[in-house]
Amino acid sequence: MTRPAALERVPAPLLAVAAIVSVQFGAALARTHFDALGPLGAAALRLGFGALVLLLVFRPRVGGWSRRTWLGVVLLGVALAGMNLLIYLAIDVVPLGVAVTLEFLGPLTVALVQTRRFVDAAWAVLALAGVVVLGLDSSGATPLLGVLLALGAGAFWAGYIVANASLGRGDDSLGGLAVAMTVAAVIVVPLGAADAASAVSVDPSLLLVFLVVAVLTSALPYSLEMVALRRLPTRVFGVLSSLGPATAALAGLVVLGQALGARELVALALVTAASVGVTATARRPRRDGPLVEPPPT
């Protein structure tokens, strides 16, 4: 895919932040239609259109792929299916900012297990403190099911990072991502097809809405990241990615009217601080090492 000349003139950090904003506000837009579609129907439309958009944009060349590459792509697709499905189920029962904060523990764990220093243990304790703060709620405002679903999405996000790293940075890496998204769609679409078909038969405009969601959460952010990562150190990119939970909280407030309480904000701040800390203090990674990338929520 040819990088637009206009994007090359935009500062790389701004492109990375724009990708994060696009993903989280796209997720918030999808959440506004859960009453009509349900989380399964929404996930089915989002992944179906996402796969179609990525295939059209990145046009994967699969003819010369090895068996190992295909295995990596399938594993990546399973991870994408799990993280997308579980996070949609999670944000159906807990605020978007809370769900993404918990989900972010997945990539944070991947970053932590790659190091053996005392300071990293301190960051892990800080992140754990954020989860404990959420768990201290005695009013039942944060349902346990939503917490478990968000943590499950985080586990699949961790798997996504590992699988993505195993594919390397070949010339058709984004083609591999497009095929992986297709695998994810094959897994999830049958689960939500009935809900989606029923809702679309009543309101066909949902097709256009979720085409926009697919662009906001797939083609646009992946394209922005692709250009940004050509000029941005992975450490800086990791720190910027740590803005994900806060951006999700802002999207939840602006789009969904989900104002977080003091307890949720403290938990968000602790997890975000841990993520920034472990990334900023990490030893300089290899350029071809795994990245903590925003999820295709």
Looking at residue 230, its pLDDT comes to 74
Q: Is 5 inside a domain boundary?
A: no
**Which distant-in-sequence residues (6+ apart) come within 8 Å of 46 by Cβ?**
30, 84, 88, 210, 213, 214, 217
Share of the chain above pLDDT 70, in %: 82
Q: Is 62 inside a domain boundary?
A: yes
Looking at residue 148, its pLDDT comes to 92
Most confident range (mean pLDDT) of 71-75, 131-135, 162-166, 190-194 is 190-194
pLDDT at 29 over 90: yes
Looking at residue 289, its pLDDT comes to 47
Judged by phi (left if over 0) then psi (alpha if -120 to 50, else beta), residue 59 lies in left
Buried b (16+ CB within 10 A) or exposed e, 163-201: bbbebeeeebebbbbbbbbbbbbebbbeebeebbeebbe
In 3D space, the residue among 227, 187, 197, 153 whose CA is nearest the CA of residue 74 turns out to be 187
Most confident range (mean pLDDT) of 131-135, 155-159, 223-227, 278-282 is 155-159
Q: What angle do CA 170, 114, 109 make, to 5 degrees?
A: 100
Confidence class for position 200, pLDDT limits 50, 70, 90? very high
Distance between CA atoms of residues 172 and 149, nearest Å = 32
Q: Range of 272's domain?
A: 19-280
Q: Is 290 inside a domain boundary?
A: no
Looking at residue 45, its pLDDT comes to 96
- Written in H, E and C, the secondary structure of 276-287 is HHHHHCCCCCCC
Distance between CA atoms of residues 109 and 123, nearest Å = 10
Distance set, CA 239 to CA 62, 255, 270, 279 (Å): 33, 25, 14, 6
Q: Is 4 inside a domain boundary?
A: no
* DSSP label of 289: S
Q: Is 285 inside a domain boundary?
A: no
Q: Is 174 inside a domain boundary?
A: yes
In 3D space, the residue among 68, 74, 236, 237 whose CA is nearest the CA of residue 168 turns out to be 68
Q: Is 13 inside a domain boundary?
A: no
How many residues are present in the chain? Answer: 297
Question: In this predicted model, what pLDDT tens digit does every residue of 79-102 receive, in sequence order?
Answer: 999 999 999 999 999 989 888 888
Share of the chain above pLDDT 90, in %: 36
Helix axes 234-241, 262-280, angle to 10 degrees: 180
Looking at residue 242, its pLDDT comes to 76
A 10 A CB-CB count for 297 gives 28
Looking at residue 130, its pLDDT comes to 77
Distance between CA atoms of residues 235 and 290, nearest Å = 11
Cβ burial, residue 244 (10 Å; 0-12/13-18/19+): buried
Q: Is 114 inside a domain boundary?
A: yes
Cα(first)–Cα(last) distance of the chain, in Å? 23
Question: Count of domains in the chain?
Answer: 1
